[in-house]
Structure 1
Amino acid sequence: MAMRLLHVGFAVRDLEMTTAVWRTLFGIHWEPPVRHDLPDPDSGPDHVSLVTHGRTGDGVELEMVQTVSGPTIDAQVFGDREGMSHLAFQVDDLDAERARMIAAGVEVLGEGSAPRADWVFLRDARLGGLLVQLVQLHRD
């Protein structure tokens, strides 16, 4: 089963500075940052991050994520390191894909929902150190 690549995700410490450099060096224009406050499933502090998306000239979507507070997925897995964190794939049926991944022995790290989409983050040692995000976009 082939999935559609949705975006390449990066964990960054300073969203404003990083996107300004990518704009200057590579001509990428960024959407306004969106703050995501996701409740912790274990009743801990909320996972708060700032997220923006931009596209290269040939249409590849990049996502920059800055942890603001709490144990976001990037902070849990990568600590304070910056850099590529995940590949996101668009799926048509998130529940079915989550179940398929679990059956294949892949660990579900977390999931969330926003006005644009629902998603799940996955980790598996066989994936070469990157996380994978499966995303089901909401239909308009």
Structure 2
Amino acid sequence: MSIHKSGSAVWQGGLKDGKGTVSTQSGVIQDIPYSFAKRFEGEAGSNPEELIGAAHASCYSMALSMILGEDGLTAERIDTEAKVTLDQVEGGFAITKVHLSTVAKIPDTDEATFKAAADKAKAGCPVSKLFNAEITLDAKLEN
């Protein structure tokens, strides 16, 4: 089984003076502007790294939900943030790290069961498998 989803981007101009827009197939993100300044100089607005972070956080949360379900558990809430690190490296830039922070409220479970599920989700999440970067995790269980 193959599932195909798409995102698209349009760029006009040079690297530093150009600008672009990014969109998703679903239309949830539609013609959102991005630029060099938004990506590298702290100007407010979207950039590829935050989009990757959102994709990773959402994929990880779903993977954790699936793994919990395999153990007969259902989370009331899984709240995940993915901090993406873009570093200057030899030959340009690279995403070198992604740090996942998740807090989950899961009735009828213990810390050990939760941590095992959280680690399994980090390794098994399809977006985690995509990265050639260090992926770290802080996982907290709410009571």
TM-score between both structures, scaled by the size of structure 1: 0.30
Larger C-alpha radius of gyration, 1 or 2? 2
The one of the two structures with greater contact order (alpha-carbon pairs below 8 A, sep at least 6) is 1
